Amino acid sequence: MNRLQSKLRQFDRSRGWHEVDPEHTFLHLVEELGEVARELLGRAAYKDAGGNLAGELADVALLLYKLADQLGVDLEEAALEKLAENEKRFPLEYSRLAMERYQKRRDED
């Protein structure tokens, strides 16, 4: 992730885009999330969305990395810390039982 953030930082600087405020980066991120939602809903409705889910997800990832960089957050470190917290918060047995209940309810619908 750090390599990607560094490459993205260089990409933005070369275009002057490093001047964009974090608030605007966040708005662009939300817009791209909407495009991912559109792709997923198209798939759920068994329609050919005619889009590019991988590309839309990549847009979301790039904007998330950019936002983290703008705010001075080491995204890789933060994600690893959060994963460690979640391992404690959601023990295996509890999580497996919750997933079984989820699948049962989903299958009943």
How would DSSP label each residue in 4-29? HHHHHHHHHHHHTGGGS-HHHHHHHH
* pTM confidence score: 0.83
Q: What percent of the chain has pLDDT over 70?
A: 94
Count: domains in the chain: 2
pLDDT digits (tens, 9 = 90+) for 44-65: 886 665 679 999 999 999 999 9
Q: Is the same domain home to 78 and 65? A: no
Give the CA diameter of the chain.
Answer: 54
Q: Is the same domain home to 49 and 88? A: no
Q: Is the same domain home to 55 and 85? A: no
Range of the domain at 109: 74-109
Q: Is the same domain home to 55 and 80? A: no
pLDDT digits (tens, 9 = 90+) for 10-21: 999 999 999 999
pLDDT digits (tens, 9 = 90+) for 95-109: 999 999 999 998 987
Q: Is the same domain home to 64 and 83? A: no
